[in-house]
Chains A and B, each alone.
Chain A
Amino acid sequence: MMNDDLERVAIVATAQTQLRSAWGSMQHVDLIGATVNDLLNGSGFRIQDIDVIIDCGSDVLDGRSISNCGFLGAMGAHHKEESRVEEDGIFGAIYGANKVSGGSADVALVIAYSKPSESSVAGYYSTLSEPFYQRPLGLDHISAAGLLANQYLTYSGASEEDLITIAFESWRKASHNKDVEMLGAPSRDDIARAVRIADPLTAPQISRNVDGAVAILIAKESVARKLSDKPVWITGIGSAIDSHYLTERVPGKMKAAETATKFALKSAGISDIKQFKLAEVSATSSANEAMVVEAMGFADFGKAINCYSENSAVSINPSGGAIPADPIMATGLVRLHEAYKQLSGGYGEVKFDKAIAHGAGGLGMQNHCVITLEA
């Protein structure tokens, strides 16, 4: 990435379907085809310019083994190199960036998609759990979120009110994001009084699963400069995995998110996280989001809430983040797309010169990935 003989790589275009509770009128292939088509339109690139497709989806969510096999045509992957990373799309973005940066491809398409509405999200998450000691007890993403939130409050000194605020801010921002289908944002009171779905978390504090697809185009510098008028450079990448057992993780903290951030900053040659004024982070609950924000270094232990006030130095999830709209396999790539949009004028006046995007996968957010961008 920051090596002498390697070309820099840039995101040159992104596209995303609206994120909806259910895209009942579309199959996976339809969402994928529409997204790739939108991506290419106006990008300066044609399907023939793409050398490799990295796709991210889940067999279990799709209800189909090697599900990418049935979607290759819709991705434009026919007779191209293709690889499926069965993880959040942001991990696919790392593969795409490496492929281009290392010289194996000039242009890479990374696409992530899912339709949780077609399957059982509890089934997807419970099958992630270890089959002898955890799954038979009924552990899934809801109970995992509750346990991790309980630990966060116990150890960090943060309050339930803090978590409600984080959820409130997320829903509020998402209600202005036309790419998130929403009926309206819940009030603080609505959130506090909602069903305690996994104590201490109320229902609106657990991420809402949505259907959607998102794609990004990555190109090497010489190509990016020729064909794109708004390249955004990928400056750093990092990922790290935490313990599979929730009981082995450091209570109240996301150590793997910390490590992933360190790797990303190191490869970007940036020593201070505070240089980033824009962060798009993924989360499966309000408490998990707080832990990610702290793990990245934006706030001390228990103090993530400070990043959600008006005078916070860093803007966390202007898109609303993942709590209102979590398409599972695509969530992190959506964050990357949102960050790209901010830096490339997709939201009007460009307010930031760099951004950091985060994604995660697994039960209780076990596997973390961080990418830094610069305009």
Chain B
Amino acid sequence: MRNVAILGVGQTNHARRRTDVSTIGLSREAVLRALEDADLTMDDIDSVVVCSGPVLFAAVNQPEKWLADAIGARNKPVVRVTSGGGTGLAGALAAVNQVRAGHANRVLVIAYDKLSEGALQYSISTLYDPFWGREFAVGIMGFSAAYWKSRMDLLGHSEEAAAMVSVKNHKNALLNPYAHVKKEITVEDVLNSKPLCWPIKLLDVPPISDGACAVILGSEDAAKKSENPAWIRGMAYYCEAENAAYRSMIQSEPLTIAAAKVYRQAGITNPRRQVDVVEVQEPYTCFELSYYEGLGLCPSGGAAELMASGATQIDGDIPVNPSGGCMGANPIGATALIRLAEVAQQVRGKAGAYQIEGAKVGLAQAGGGWANLRGVAVVSSEKG
């Protein structure tokens, strides 16, 4: 398979509410920053992939069609790929496949969400089958909380361990210029915060954000002209039928399948040792614990211990979410691409205040739906 690299990355300064720009203006900001980072213009871009949260989060159907005119994409190939919260990574994968097929030399992926505009929980309830369960649904929070409770009992993913995730990510976000939640908190703060869908409490939950992220992917040829590419060493995105027989809600099978495939592609047999930095998309803190196990950073049931050991802290041996993860900013449609962008910046040495020294191999995880859409990617400063 042909090599694909990330040539440039841009993010907006995410905010609880951006009142100065429309959704297309927000996206344009990220696109211009990515082009600048890659030292390219839109003329150099062959194709555009747009990613956003579900259409009903905002009020424009197929918004990529409106967005195209704000980013100079007129007359270019433009498609929108969606995958709930994982849309940004799903979009990146579509772009990777365009480059691998020789269909495009440079693809711009733009992922965004302007969550301030809509009624988030209610729009999320429209995910559910109108016949069966919609009336009982509590967004994704209820379902996520319920299975966290199960994992608490079966795998020891305690409220304390999840609180440590929140503390870590909030602290890391202080260093991230794009994050808008800048709050240093303690484990006590998290445990005492208001239970929303117990065991999920207020401080286990990321903010609602407006934000966009753009990533430019290119062929090996295009990368030659780039100063500092980050190579895609593996990427996969798997799904699981949301109500299949005996669906394991304890470990995420699509995640482990995607991770196995990506590790094979990237030649990784021991992710804990071979990966330098990790970015995961934690829609609630409990998920980060789950991902430690799903990504093979520790054995099943070992997540609380890994968290407590300090290994995933920014100065640990396997830092997870040095950017602050979703706790610093969570524009859902952009979040997955932000995770990829952050690890790319890490291996390019461009992560600024939260740079993991000497980072060469980065691992990104993202996903959406009912925790049944899961993607993984590995990037490296080396082509392999």
Cβ of B60: which chain A residues have Cβ within 8 Å of it?
127-128, 130-131
Cβ of A363: which chain B residues have Cβ within 8 Å of it?
65
The answer on a CB contact under 8 Å between A241 and B74 is yes
Residues from 228 to 257 in B contacting A, C-beta threshold 8 Å:
236-244, 253-254, 257
The answer on a CB contact under 8 Å between B2 and A5 is yes
A101 and B73 alpha carbons, distance in the complex (Å): 25
The answer on a CB contact under 8 Å between B254 and A84 is no
The answer on a CB contact under 8 Å between B62 and A362 is yes
Contact of B59 among A66, A77, A94, A127 (CB under 8 A): A127
The answer on a CB contact under 8 Å between B75 and A256 is yes
A315 and B75 alpha carbons, distance in the complex (Å): 27
- Please count how many residues in chain A sit with their CB below 8 Å of the partner chain's CB atoms: 63
The answer on a CB contact under 8 Å between A102 and B238 is no
Cβ of A64: which chain B residues have Cβ within 8 Å of it?
126-130
The answer on a CB contact under 8 Å between A361 and B244 is no
The answer on a CB contact under 8 Å between A69 and B81 is no
Question: Which of A5, A6, A87 is the most central at the interface, judged by chain B CB atoms within 10 Å of its CB?
Answer: A87
Assess A263 versus B77: contact at CB under 8 Å? Given A95-B94, A102-B97.
Answer: yes
Q: A259 an interface residue at 8 Å Cβ cutoff?
A: yes
A73 and B241 alpha carbons, distance in the complex (Å): 5
Q: Across the interface, name the chain B residue whose C-beta is closest to A267.
A: B103
Assess A1 versus B102: contact at CB under 8 Å? Given A78-B239, A95-B97.
Answer: yes
Cβ of B154: which chain A residues have Cβ within 8 Å of it?
none
The answer on a CB contact under 8 Å between B83 and A83 is yes
The answer on a CB contact under 8 Å between A79 and B240 is yes
Cβ of A81: which chain B residues have Cβ within 8 Å of it?
236-239
Assess A244 versus B68: contact at CB under 8 Å? Given A85-B79, A104-B1.
Answer: yes
Q: A326 an interface residue at 8 Å Cβ cutoff?
A: no
Shortest CB-to-CB span from B246 to chain A, Å, is 12
The answer on a CB contact under 8 Å between B80 and A241 is no
Cβ of B187: which chain A residues have Cβ within 8 Å of it?
none
Cβ of B100: which chain A residues have Cβ within 8 Å of it?
98, 101-104
Assess A243 versus B59: contact at CB under 8 Å? Given A72-B239, A81-B236.
Answer: no
Assess A124 versus B127: contact at CB under 8 Å? Given A82-B238, A259-B75.
Answer: no
Shortest CB-to-CB span from B70 to chain A, Å, is 9
Cβ of A239: which chain B residues have Cβ within 8 Å of it?
77-79
Residues from 194 to 226 in B contacting A, C-beta threshold 8 Å:
none
Partner-binding segment picked from A55-63, A148-156, A279-287, A304-312: A55-63
The answer on a CB contact under 8 Å between B61 and A124 is yes
A263 and B76 alpha carbons, distance in the complex (Å): 10
Assess A85 versus B80: contact at CB under 8 Å? Given A3-B102, A243-B69.
Answer: yes
The answer on a CB contact under 8 Å between A1 and B55 is no
Contact of A241 among B57, B73, B99, B370 (CB under 8 A): B73
Q: Across the interface, name the chain B residue whose C-beta is closest to A97.
A: B101
A86 and B54 alpha carbons, distance in the complex (Å): 10
Residues from 186 to 241 in A contacting B, C-beta threshold 8 Å:
237-241
The answer on a CB contact under 8 Å between B240 and A78 is yes
Shortest CB-to-CB span from A281 to chain B, Å, is 18
Cβ of B45: which chain A residues have Cβ within 8 Å of it?
none
The answer on a CB contact under 8 Å between A241 and B54 is no
Q: A99 an interface residue at 8 Å Cβ cutoff?
A: yes
Cβ of A175: which chain B residues have Cβ within 8 Å of it?
none
Cβ of A103: which chain B residues have Cβ within 8 Å of it?
1-2, 100
The answer on a CB contact under 8 Å between A66 and B127 is yes
A97 and B306 alpha carbons, distance in the complex (Å): 42
5 interchain residue pairs of minimum CB distance: A102-B100, A73-B241, A102-B101, A127-B61, A98-B101
* Given pairs A77-B239, A263-B77, A361-B65, 7 additional interface contacts (CB within 8 A): A64-B130, A79-B238, A81-B239, A85-B80, A102-B100, A242-B74, A245-B69
Binding site for B on A (CB under 8 A): 1, 3, 5-6, 58-60, 63-66, 68-70, 72-73, 77-87, 91, 94-95, 97-99, 101-104, 124, 127-128, 130-131, 237-245, 248, 255-256, 259-260, 263, 267, 361-363, 366-367
* CB-defined A-B contacts under 8 Å, sample of 30: A6-B102, A59-B54, A59-B82, A64-B128, A65-B54, A65-B56, A65-B126, A66-B369, A69-B84, A69-B242, A72-B241, A77-B239, A79-B253, A79-B254, A79-B257, A80-B238, A81-B239, A84-B90, A95-B97, A98-B101, A98-B103, A102-B98, A102-B99, A104-B96, A127-B60, A131-B60, A239-B78, A240-B75, A244-B68, A259-B75
